[in-house]
Structure 1
Amino acid sequence: MKQFKRYLVTAALPYANGPVHIGHLAGCYLPADIYVRYLRSRKRAVQFVGGTDEHGVPITIKAMQENITPRDIVDKYYALISESFSEMGISFDIFSRTSKPVHHETAAGFFKKMYDDGLFEEKETEQYYDEVKQVFLADRYIIGTCPNCGNEKAYGDQCERCGSSLSPDELINPRSALSDAVPVKRKTKHWYLPLQQYEPWLKEWLLEGHQEWKNNVYGQCKSWLDHGLQSRAMTRDSNWGVKVPLPDAEGKVLYVWFDAPIGYISATKELLPDSWETYWKQDDTKLVHFIGKDNIVFHCIIFPAMLKAHGGYVLPENVPANEFLNIEGEKVSTSRNWAVWVHDYVKDFPGQQDVLRYVLCANAPENKDNDFTWKDFQDRNNNELVAIFGNFINRTLVLMHKLCNGKVPPFHADIADEADRQIGLFLQKQKEKIKDALEHFRFRDALGEVMNIAREGNRYMQEKAPWLLAKTPELQTQHQQQIDNCIHVCLQLTANLGILINPFLPYTAKKICHMLKVVDRMLEWENAGSMKLVKTGYSLRAPELLFRKIADEEIALQLEKLRSGAALSAPAQPGKTPAQAPPANAGPVPAAKPEITYEDFAKLDLRAGIITEAAKVEKADKLLRLTVDLGAEQRTVVSGIAQHYAPEDIIGRRVTLVANLAPRKMRGITSQGMILMAEEAGSGRLVFVGAGEDVPPGSGVS
């Protein structure tokens, strides 16, 4: 396998004509950041390069619509986009702009070298022109009637009603989207890159040399190459962009997809003016482009062909493109305002950046389009981050302060049992699984394996149950060494979770370091797998909750915000608009039960409890056997929730128990109470009704 001395990681340059939404994050920026943070933890030489794409027709169109200059547009959105990325912890080494002089010089010089080498074809063609706005029109800015379905608002490149691919010449009654004027055709001269000349090389380099690329990337590239490539114009008619560096090119700029990827080079120049060539021109550099699937052809075919034609540059080793992330079952549409904007999320959920990072990675569209829903966001936060990951770390630190005087207890090897020894072996195996997944861009799998460590920690703690060994002072004195071993192991697991979660949830990793009173250097990858990360006898800080539960009201507000925002925009299809989507939790509401008196209610003995054990009941698809800690006693409860929850996911879950319900035998098991659950209207999903995090087990609920 080829060895690399340095890594150059790029993330697609977003157009500076609007804010970024969570689909952008899930598509390329979050995966790129996870990969880069992992490489840094391995002490690899890596540069993470990004910036905004500030040229092209969309910028000038936006400026016309708002009656301001293109410069005003890009300045406004560069600030908003860069702040959004910074807030979400996307750790670029540089986040530049293609409007900077260094980029204009680099892109123009790149074009001129290719021109001087005779690599372009000069052609005169006819293109649509808006005589009112005095601009040539890109296909997207020509509107007319679709010849296939009759949609009067079809675009010059596609009809969004029937999905047909179109050309402006196919539209019936075409008109300009800028002025509504009927466009005319005018002759114009441009310079074309004959991509067909690079087909043999591309097939050898890509189809034969990079079969390890993701199926969606490789398949799309193969389809393009199988259909044959054509010459493609590398210049456009405009006054906004990188001017074509030729004497007979007045009013011509570089095509945005020629100019934009060169932005990776110019940004590296800006970052490393004296050593940028080391990253771009040394064969032992690993160049990785993170993009969305709509940019595959540009990064895998056109840009590599440009680099090959120019000569002297490294080529991408991988282009791990993700698919699209839909929202609440609808395709993201900025024109319809059907999006969750990153800057809005940061305002609405202050300090909860890692929650969004977690959800977008756990639900990443790595191989197919996926759907983001606010309900799934809430469930993953409450049932995974809070109930599994955060719960384990919080319980570990709480028990350390309660049972070990707030200090890291010693590990007594002479009384260690098999469970203690197996934890270290399990951790080593998990580290290797996580490393392998990260190296091969399977970030969703890697995150799942980190969460499995937290699950195993919860299982281990429940098995050891140190709180039971300390029920009385006498018991605690008798079993203090067993208690020490359990808490020591759990603290070492906590430190390891900080290291392994760091690429995914960096803010959370820093909080863990703070509570453990260790420096950020502990987060280096080489430390993962060690069971000696926190020192015996060391005083640790009081525990802080890493995550908070997200309430139904917050989710309902986000759904209403999404629908009302879309309602202000034109629907994508006649008779159907996201504003008409069903309200949150829509569905039949259970009929009210007969009225009872206060005395009836007072007969119930409701107690706060914690599930300490859970297992499926044999030959019963719907039943789980639970052990519930009520403080002074342990209760066995048979609950019909097996189709809603896996046993391992509810260990440590706080519940409310009807404690004075008459015992009942179910499948040969005596059930000593009933867990209170709520049934969501519409979905029918059962949800725990639990007491607060600070309510001790056994407390009465009224």
Structure 2
Amino acid sequence: NDLINPKSTLSGSVPVMRTTRHWYLPLDKHEAWLRQWILEDHKEWKTNVYGQCKSWLDLGLQPRAVSRDLDWGVPVPVEGAEGKVLYVWFDAPIGYISNTRELLPDSWEKWWKQEDTKLVHFIGKDNIVFHCIVFPVMLKAEGSYILPENVPANEFLNLEGDKISTSRNWAVWLHEYLEEFPGKQDVLRYVLTANAPETKDNDFTWKDFQARNNNELVAVLGNFVNRALVLTQKYFDNRVPAAGELTDYDRETLAAVEKVKASVEQLLETFHFRDAQREAMNLARIGNKYLADTEPWKTAKTDMKRTATILHVALQITANLSIVCEPFLPFSAERLRSFLQTEKLPWEQLGRFDLLKEGHRLGTAELLFEKIEDAVIEQQVQKLLDTRKTNEANEYRAKPVKEMIPFDTFEKLDIRVGTVLECEKVPKADKLLRFLIDDGLEKRTILSGIAAYYPNPQELVGRQICFIANLEPRKLRGILSEGMILSAENSDGTLALISPTKEVIPGSPVV
């Protein structure tokens, strides 16, 4: 009743009001415990999730219809509901349980009913209400199921300022990425995590992808690892040197490294993956600062014992990096272990400084990451621009027909065909081309604002074009233009000259 003249955009049909019967989930009867469970017991939930739930609760929950009048879907399994199907977001969560039961017929209940099970919903923001309010009410009403401990919903990730859409091919396709960026699986993982829309919508851009690779993975993590390994190879025959007496600064550095473990764990446990990865990268920043401050390339000239201690500390930090990077950069962590010639180290050892023993032989030092050049990024951007152009062409709809005119008004237009004798750009006018036309009577000059679409105007010489011959002449840039050249406007705004399909005599009328 609130819609103004509603009609279908596909068929033009007008909606018809009909009486129907539906089944409802009485959310209002569950509002009290939901308020306690969400607003008081789960204040640690992400702000976007907590805030959306709070807004629903503050407005007051209403019974929600869980049946639909559709010819597809799961039938409502109650008497008198013939012809009704379940609302998709009432039915879909039940599928989580039935899928578990199908996969684990003998043990499925422990995943959904045991108190020591931790149930977490990883979803998008458009499904927050269903997983925080509707589904928990269903579980609570049944009585034997546990409730989710957390619902770390993300907001939306856009691509180059536009909504990701597989149907419009506006996406970064994984198989294409792996072919075009071989060996760079972790770069994409890193950028997606660093740019994750955890509490607000975010945007993936290829320039940001390049910057994070070059300025963070290469310049911070890769740089530290390479320096620690190359200096060890240079001064200590590629073996872990002995640690001598530690300075106060050494101990401060080791203490800072020890703190990383607890910080990363806390962030992972609360599903702040972006901040957890940033904290893991801080370990490499600590290492870089340590090398920059201690300058082992200088101490090597006067004090090899001190140099050995510095590089011993740097290598222990490197070994710790192979642990802390594992959740975020698994392929790079594996390569790093090959550089260090170590097996996979357990997470529990993160923060220790005896991971590499004195005298342990290291592997061959290689670059952990490589710089991505502008040309590579420009190619990816161009691919998206081409996609956008294709989408615009596919989605193009002709403009509405203009107001009708009498036939005798049309007959007043004198449209003719002429042959281009000369064509050149008008000096100091970016848009204008000057045409000299053979019109079958006398030569005439016409100016046209199509220079952007014909960068080599001399190529138009000899071509036949259509023009309006009886427009009143007017001066443009001091040149008298005697008519109007006709062009067609494409879906992308580009212009193309209109020409006859066969050559005709100059001055032939268009009828």
Deviation of the 1:311 alpha carbon: 1.5
What corresponds to 1:486 in structure 2? 310
Matches of 2:357 and 2:192 in 1, distance apart?
A: 35
Root mean square deviation of aligned Cα = 2.8
Q: Does 1:546 align with 2:368?
A: yes
Quick check: 1:495–1:516 contact (8 Å CA) kept in 2? Answer: yes
Find the partner of 1:277 among 102, 109, 115.
109
What corresponds to 2:247 in structure 1? 417
Find the partner of 2:391 among 542, 551, 569.
569
CA, structure 1 residues 303+171, in 2 after alignment: closer, same or farther (shift >3 Å)?
A: farther
CA, structure 1 residues 528+228, in 2 after alignment: closer, same or farther (shift >3 Å)?
A: same
Quick check: 1:354–1:508 contact (8 Å CA) kept in 2? Answer: yes
Deviation of the 1:296 alpha carbon: 0.7
- 5 Å matches for 1:396-415? 396-412=228-244, 415=245
Q: Does 1:505 align with 2:329?
A: yes
What corresponds to 2:3 in structure 1? 170
Matches of 1:242 and 1:539 in 2, distance apart?
A: 63
- 5 Å matches for 1:176-255? 177=10, 189-238=21-70, 240-246=72-78, 252-255=84-87
Q: Per-residue CA shift, 1:390-440, capped at 9, x if unaligned? A: 11112222222222212222222xx33222222221111222222222222
Q: Which amino acid aligns with 1:519?
A: E
What corresponds to 2:260 in structure 1? 430
What corresponds to 2:379 in structure 1? 557
CA, structure 1 residues 416+191, in 2 after alignment: closer, same or farther (shift >3 Å)?
A: same
What corresponds to 1:374 in structure 2? 206
Matches of 2:246 and 2:58 in 1, distance apart?
A: 63
What corresponds to 1:317 in structure 2? 149
Quick check: 2:159–2:171 contact (8 Å CA) kept in 1? Answer: yes
Matches of 2:73 and 2:360 in 1, distance apart?
A: 60
Q: Which runs of 5+ in 1 are unaligned?
A: 1-166, 576-702
Q: Which runs of 5+ in 2 are unaligned?
A: 398-511
TM-score by length of 2: 0.71
Quick check: 1:517–1:541 contact (8 Å CA) kept in 2? Answer: yes
The structure whose Rg is larger is 2
Quick check: 1:335–1:569 contact (8 Å CA) kept in 2? Answer: no
CA, structure 1 residues 494+188, in 2 after alignment: closer, same or farther (shift >3 Å)?
A: same
Find the partner of 2:127 among 295, 304, 309.
295
Deviation of the 1:552 alpha carbon: 0.8
- 5 Å matches for 1:24-39? none
The residue matched to 1:371 in structure 2 has which SS? strand
TM-score by length of 1: 0.53
The residue matched to 2:203 in structure 1 has which SS? strand
What corresponds to 1:454 in structure 2? 284
CA, structure 1 residues 502+239, in 2 after alignment: closer, same or farther (shift >3 Å)?
A: farther
The residue matched to 2:118 in structure 1 has which SS? strand
Instruction: Select the structure with the greater relative contact order (CA < 8 A; seq sep ≥ 6).
Output: 1
CA, structure 1 residues 241+395, in 2 after alignment: closer, same or farther (shift >3 Å)?
A: farther
Matches of 1:405 and 1:513 in 2, distance apart?
A: 18
What corresponds to 1:348 in structure 2? 180
Q: Which amino acid aligns with 1:280?
A: W
The residue matched to 1:315 in structure 2 has which SS? coil
What corresponds to 2:343 in structure 1? 519
What corresponds to 1:82 in structure 2? none
Quick check: 1:336–1:571 contact (8 Å CA) kept in 2? Answer: no
Identity fraction in percent: 58
CA, structure 1 residues 183+565, in 2 after alignment: closer, same or farther (shift >3 Å)?
A: farther
Quick check: 2:257–2:286 contact (8 Å CA) kept in 1? Answer: no
Q: Does 1:463 align with 2:285?
A: no
What corresponds to 1:258 in structure 2? 90
Q: Which shows bigger deviation, 448-457 or 361-370?
A: 361-370
The residue matched to 1:287 in structure 2 has which SS? coil
Instruction: Report which of the two has the higher share of strand.
Output: 1
Deviation of the 1:570 alpha carbon: 4.6
Matches of 2:362 and 2:373 in 1, distance apart?
A: 31
CA, structure 1 residues 294+341, in 2 after alignment: closer, same or farther (shift >3 Å)?
A: farther
Quick check: 1:176–1:182 contact (8 Å CA) kept in 2? Answer: no
Deviation of the 1:374 alpha carbon: 1.2
Matches of 2:248 and 2:43 in 1, distance apart?
A: 44
Q: Does 1:326 align with 2:173?
A: no
The size of the alignment, in residue pairs, is: 397
Q: Which amino acid aligns with 2:360?
A: Y
CA, structure 1 residues 481+273, in 2 after alignment: closer, same or farther (shift >3 Å)?
A: farther
What corresponds to 2:351 in structure 1? 529
The residue matched to 1:229 in structure 2 has which SS? coil
Quick check: 1:336–1:572 contact (8 Å CA) kept in 2? Answer: no
What corresponds to 1:145 in structure 2? none
Deviation of the 1:313 alpha carbon: 0.7
Deviation of the 1:173 alpha carbon: 4.7
Deviation of the 1:171 alpha carbon: 5.9
Quick check: 1:336–1:570 contact (8 Å CA) kept in 2? Answer: no
Deviation of the 1:349 alpha carbon: 2.0
Deviation of the 1:186 alpha carbon: 5.9
Matches of 2:264 and 2:18 in 1, distance apart?
A: 57
Q: Which amino acid aligns with 1:491?
A: L
Deviation of the 1:547 alpha carbon: 1.5
Q: Which amino acid aligns with 1:555?
A: I
Matches of 1:323 and 1:532 in 2, distance apart?
A: 42
Deviation of the 1:375 alpha carbon: 0.8
Q: Per-residue CA shift, 1:279-301, capped at 9, x if unaligned? A: 21122322221212111111111
Q: Which amino acid aligns with 1:564?
A: D
Deviation of the 1:181 alpha carbon: 5.9
Deviation of the 1:188 alpha carbon: 5.3
Deviation of the 1:504 alpha carbon: 1.4
Matches of 2:75 and 2:179 in 1, distance apart?
A: 39
Deviation of the 1:333 alpha carbon: 4.4
Q: Which shows bigger deviation, 186-195 or 549-558?
A: 186-195
Matches of 2:182 and 2:24 in 1, distance apart?
A: 49
Deviation of the 1:302 alpha carbon: 0.7
The residue matched to 2:240 in structure 1 has which SS? coil
Q: Per-residue CA shift, 1:340-383, capped at 9, x if unaligned? A: 34443333323212111211222222222222221111001001
Matches of 1:173 and 1:239 in 2, distance apart?
A: 23
The residue matched to 1:483 in structure 2 has which SS? helix
Q: Which amino acid aligns with 2:308?
A: D
